[in-house]
Amino acid sequence: MTSYYPPISYTVPPLEDGWLLKTILQKRMDVSRKLLSRLKMTDLGITLNGERVYISVKVSTGDLVQIRMEEETSEDILPQPIPFEILYEDGHLLVVSKAAGMIVHPTHGHYTETLANGVVHYWAEKGERVRFRPVHRLDQETSGVLVIAKNPYSHQHISEQMIAGTVDKRYTAFVHGVPALPSGDIDGPIDRDPLEPHRRIVTPDGYPSLTRYEVKEVYGSAASRVELKLESGRTHQIRVHMGSVGCPLIGDGMYRHPLYGQAADSRAEASAPGEERRAGESAVTAGGEEQQVQELAVTADGAALPPGDAARLAQIAELDAAIPRQALHAVRLAFRHPVTHAELVFEAPLPTDMALLQEKLRQSAR
């Protein structure tokens, strides 16, 4: 016997008397064509006053229109008792605060220990049959608010809000340096780096991407805290955009400050040909320990970087070593509930590692 999630209901008002049921489903209940096709294939997918009918029938004032979706599970995801923080849950949504270091969904080489494994286990323990449907993603090392839909209808509606730009997604980041303007837009198309496909770059031929930023706190000239609002959702968008304006994220091992590269280039130019690759590899090693900085700041023949650059690189490396991941946190997410249409706002305070970094920056700026 088919099992269904609780129905989503709509009562026909007087102004819609005589409308086609199909029109009610598409124009008033906002059922997508794809979901409508799925609902028509099940016995209780679409009912009018409790009876299964064709969507070509006309409705009357006071009629009760209901849609029911079949229960689903993520059979390809292994349930694991992994703790995670819940901000909100009802029959349609689960909103969590994802921890840094946690992958959202199993991928090649990472089939376990993900947020999905933990959520699927949590639902199973509650006796709920729900498929894991994240509406959006956060990078593994990015913490913060994430919304998961518990049925296709909810996923469709929140996704449409994101496409329309009505979802308010805000992030807090700590970056090297201070942006030239206290607030502004970074409008730079993003696409894969042809030389390193796992990275992204700003390129004229990329996909349109827009990030709005506002400087919230400045720590001398060394660093600043910025709030960012995404108007598009490209992979690594904030990390790439902030790097493009000379303010890469503190702790980011992939999109590092350009001074690392300049120091490595200086070493490579002064090294024997066989040593160039090793010098380049040092430039992308994560960690930023003092010995690495000294190796980067001084070329093979003893010629140092300009004093100002060497001192700045040491400062940058010290900050990068103060946090084990990019200092980026999804602090706020606001959207309309897909069924009740109520405005929902969720916020997650800074996690411990970023709060400690903030205190370090404040202390150093005094």
pLDDT score for 296: 52
Task: Please choose, from the candidates 135, 132, 126, 122, the residue with its C-alpha nearest in 3D space to the C-alpha of residue 79.
Answer: 122
Residue 176's Cβ-side half-sphere holds a number of Cα atoms within 13 Å equal to 30
Give per-residue pLDDT as tens, 19-43.
Answer: 999 999 999 999 999 999 999 999 9
pLDDT score for 303: 43
Residue 212 sits at φ, ψ, to 5 deg, of -100, 135
* Residue with the larger pLDDT of the pair 213 and 266: 213
Is residue 172 over pLDDT 70?
yes
Is residue 76 over pLDDT 50?
yes
Helix (H) or strand (E) holding 281: helix 276-283
Q: Is 122 helix (H, G, I), strand (E, B) or coil?
A: helix
As annotated, the active-site residues are 139
Q: Is 145 helix (H, G, I), strand (E, B) or coil?
A: strand
* Pick from 161-175, 189-203, 269-283: least confident: 269-283
Q: Say what the pTM is.
A: 0.86
pLDDT score for 161: 94
DSSP letters spanning 237-268: HHHHHHHHTT-PBTT-SSS--HHHHHHHHHHH
Give per-residue pLDDT as tens, 139-149.
Answer: 999 999 999 99
Q: Are 329 and 357 in contact (CB under 8 A)?
A: no
Q: How confident is the model at residue 90 (pLDDT cuts 50, 70, 90)?
A: very high
pLDDT score for 265: 60
Give per-residue pLDDT as tens, 246-300.
Answer: 999 999 999 999 888 776 665 555 554 444 333 333 334 444 445 555 555 444 3
Mean pLDDT score of the chain, rounded to an integer?
89
| CA atoms of 28 and 22, how far apart (whole Å) | 10
Q: What is the mean pLDDT of residues 8-17?
A: 97
Percentage of the residues of the chain whose pLDDT score is greater than 70: 89
Contacts of 324 (CB under 8 A, 6+ apart): 251, 353
Q: How confident is the model at residue 136 (pLDDT cuts 50, 70, 90)?
A: very high
pLDDT score for 260: 87
pLDDT score for 285: 43
Ranges assigned E (strand) in 316-362:
328-336, 343-347
Distances (CA, A) of 103 to 37, 84, 230, 240, 340: 33, 12, 21, 20, 30
pLDDT score for 275: 40
Give per-residue pLDDT as tens, 294-333.
Answer: 555 444 333 457 777 888 999 999 999 999 999 999 999 9
Instruction: Cite the DSSP H helix spans in 32-190.
Output: 33-40, 115-126, 152-164
Q: What is the mean pLDDT of residues 45-56?
A: 96
pLDDT score for 278: 34
pLDDT score for 261: 78
Tokens of 260: 């690392």
DSSP letters spanning 4-64: BPPPEEEEPPGGGTT-BHHHIIIIIS---HHHHHHHHTSTTSEEETTEE--TTSBP-TT-E
